[in-house]
Amino acid sequence: MSSSDSMSTSSSSESTESERSKDRQLDGEGTSSGIVTSGMPMEVVREVREDPPEELEESNWSAKDGYGWAAADGFSGDIVSLERVSAIDRVCYGQEGATENFFYTYMCHFSQLHVRLPLDDFTIGVLRTLNVAPTQLHPNSWAYLQAFRILCQSLYLEPTPYAFLYFYDTRPRRPATWLSLISRPSISRLDAFSQSFKHFKDGYFKVVVKEGGKAYFLNADGSAKFPFSWTNNPSRYKDMGMDELSAGDKDVVETLLKFVDKLPTKGLVRVYNSMHPIIDIEGHMAQSGKKNLALFQTLRKEMAA
């Protein structure tokens, strides 16, 4: 249950996290990451398009030659390759008969949420704990994950799956559809990235794991480190208690609970593209409330001491 990236690195035991994840299941729902069958029914969502400029621009990306827009800083070509999807591909389909290891991602993961490949231990841990594939987790929930990581790293804290999930509930539905993290009232400290995350379903592509990337995405036995395909049984969480957290998780949660006002998820996510992340975080903190800014600066000094 640990994370590694440019601001903090560590490792954790996958077996321990798996056991803890099983203990957290309610209503008898398991955490198997087995591959689902093709043609899983999807919820039909009708919506009126009022797309912001960046999403309208993004809608044309699939017609572009190659994926240079993502390759610039989104992934290493020695680790994965990005491939176009065919007319019959669907993000919820399984991988029966596939001869390569792959999963799907939405374009908004790169363009708006600044997800990078390979995924770090924290992100892999969240997907594994929730038992969902990358496209099965709603983009708004991906935004929470991205904002949580950058906030923790800026405060010299280690982001972990259970510290993150303490702030949210999940309510998986059948037939399976996108899983959303539901903020716990009076506990969650991040506001919503978007009140209505539109148009994301139309733009997606296939991420194929190359030989040089297997160590990042596969376990030693060849199994996936997180579900590559949609699952029928995402994990259900409700009202996680402090007594269910490890000492390290408690430290993270208790530190973040000191913030009074909601923190700006969209502003924190945009910091991934920043040349001066701490300065920009402080700017977003100031906009969300002077108390948040003062506390952020105080905590950074304390944690760095």
134 CB-near residues (< 8 Å, 6+ apart): 103, 104, 105, 106, 109, 127, 226
As averages over each run of 10 residues, the pLDDT of the chain (305 residues) reads: 40 44 41 36 34 42 41 64 76 74 90 92 98 95 96 96 96 87 92 78 87 95 95 93 96 95 92 92 88 94 89
Reading phi first (left if > 0) and then psi (alpha if -120 to 50, else beta), residue 111 is in alpha
Q: What is the pLDDT of residue 88?
A: 65
- Please name every residue paired with 102 in a beta bridge, in sequence order, or none if there are none: 208
Question: What sign does the dihedral 127-130-133-138 (CA atoms) show?
Answer: negative
Q: What is the pLDDT of residue 189?
A: 92
In order, the DSSP letters of 168-233 are: EEE---SS---B-EEEPTTT--B--S-SS--SGGG-EEEEEEPGGGHHHHB-TTS-BSS-SS--S-
Cβ-in-10-Å burial (0-12, 13-18, 19+) of 26 comes to exposed
Taking each helix axis as running N to C, give the angle between helix 277-288 and helix 139-154, from 0 to 180 degrees, rounded to the nearest 10: 110
Q: 10 Å Cβ neighbour count for 196?
A: 10
User: Is-contact 76 182, C-beta < 8 A?
Assistant: no
Q: What is the pLDDT of residue 87?
A: 64
CA distance 37 to 82: 23
Q: What is the pLDDT of residue 76?
A: 59
Upper half-sphere CA count for residue 30 (Cβ side, 13 Å): 5
- Please name every residue paired with 170 in a beta bridge, in sequence order, or none if there are none: 181
Residue type, 265: T
166 CB-near residues (< 8 Å, 6+ apart): 187, 240, 242, 245, 249, 253
Q: What is the pLDDT of residue 196?
A: 67
Q: What is the pLDDT of residue 184?
A: 94
Residue type, 237: Y
